[in-house]
Chains A and B, each alone.
Chain A
């Protein structure tokens, strides 16, 4: 893993965090995409075998601290998300754009569902189903995330040996 790649990864997570926690109006707040989860999905797809599993854990712990949720909640959800992505990396990469959008949408829905389950177990159940609206917006925003990050990678690092 080169120095440049690490820098780009760091910046991508920084920007994702900023976008995730950016204050927006009450109506928009349920529609804020799961930026951090999307970036994790992107790097899991792009790095494949070189993807370190400690990364989603660490990022998840940061999210937990920012949100004030119990430590490990987002970490576990991100870990399982990246596991599923790594398992199905080939199919996901080969899928067409629209198919990819649908698949990513379901992945983020699963990610949110894990968070929802953990919240339920510790007794702070959500009563509002609009919470899951974020997976729809995440799916819609996915092509742009992947295009931008692909472009960054192509310009600054050689990810794929061609």
Chain B
């Protein structure tokens, strides 16, 4: 009796293990199982929002515990900031016009400004293997795969998964992430890749003779057409010349406050649809994305 039970158990475990390994292979190499993933993530949305509840409660407590005096001072401070921003915006509008005129003279394509959508991070403690976060906007609000997410100080990453109510953001610190950048000072172009959560980014394939210094600001170069041009990505903190190696070891400190930002902006509509379709066919998103909403319609 005992023996029969044991063999039956082993067989069942073996069958299920084979099934699970098959599922992993299917998920890793093909896009077949995305429907399963989407169905499960819709099922788990209440859980994600429940997890976010304590954080929201603390935020709410902070606001309601603040005194009127504090709020009034903050208000004055914000108004001052707004005034300063508006003044610098006036200059910017002027410069933008000048820029587009110059670009027209050079017959180069004009820059397309993105539209922004605000989103909030859902608080979750994920496994430390990947640098991903979950946002509270999904395909119902028009979030699509490959859209770029920024915060007030720089690029955060790109969207790699969308459900109707939430979306998944791959941070630039993830080893799967690569961002084409250029040096703001010298115009030198390279690629930044992540090295894991809470670790500095690294600038790869840079030779000793290239014009790069500690303290240089790196901004997105717009090559690859996924990240829009001109957003800060990070600052070079450390350059290590290794003897016998063709490339240098360069550490970059991300500009975006990856650990602190709760409110982020999703950049959308910065490419036209044809280019987007072409790009999706050319370059797959790092993890297996679901069917592209635009392509379907």
Contact = CB atoms under 8 A, between A and B. Distances in A.
B125 interface: yes
B27 A30 contact: no
B130 A124 contact: yes
B150 to A, nearest CB: 21
A53 B24 contact: no
Interface stretch (B34-42, B178-186, B201-209, B270-278): B34-42
Interface in A22-74: 22-24, 26, 29-30, 32, 49, 53-54, 57, 60-62, 65-73
Contacts of A115: 127
Nearest to A32: B125
Interface in B258-276: 259
A14 interface: yes
A71 B23 contact: yes
Contacts of B16: 53-54, 57, 79
Contact of B40 (A26, A62, A79, A128): A62
Interface footprint category on B: 35 or more
Contacts of B81: none
Given A53-B13, A124-B130, A66 B47 contact: yes
Interface stretch (B4-12, B94-102, B225-233, B245-253): B4-12
B17 A76 contact: yes
Contacts of A57: 16, 19-20
A141 to B, nearest CB: 16
Nearest to B174: A124
Interface residues of A, number: 44
A106 interface: no
A72 B51 contact: no
B129 A61 contact: no
Contact of A23 (B44, B123, B198): B123
A80 interface: yes
A22 B51 contact: yes
B58 to A, nearest CB: 11
Contacts of A119: 129
A68 B125 contact: no
B12 A53 contact: yes
B6 A87 contact: yes
A71 B126 contact: no
A73 B50 CA distance: 24
Nearest to B15: A53
A19 to B, nearest CB: 10
Contacts of A137: none
Given A65-B44, A66-B47, A72-B27, A22 B125 contact: yes
Interface of A: 14, 17-18, 20-24, 26, 29-30, 32, 49, 53-54, 57, 60-62, 65-73, 75-76, 79-80, 83, 86-87, 115, 118-119, 122, 124, 126-128, 131
11 contacts: A18-B50, A22-B54, A62-B43, A69-B129, A70-B28, A71-B23, A75-B23, A76-B21, A79-B17, A83-B13, A118-B24
Interface of B: 5-6, 9-10, 12-13, 16-17, 19-24, 26-28, 33, 36-37, 40-41, 43-44, 47-48, 50-51, 54-55, 123-130, 132, 161, 168, 175-176, 196, 198, 259, 287
Given A21-B47, A62-B44, A124-B176, 11 more contacts: A23-B123, A30-B128, A61-B36, A68-B126, A68-B130, A71-B24, A71-B26, A72-B27, A80-B17, A87-B9, A128-B128
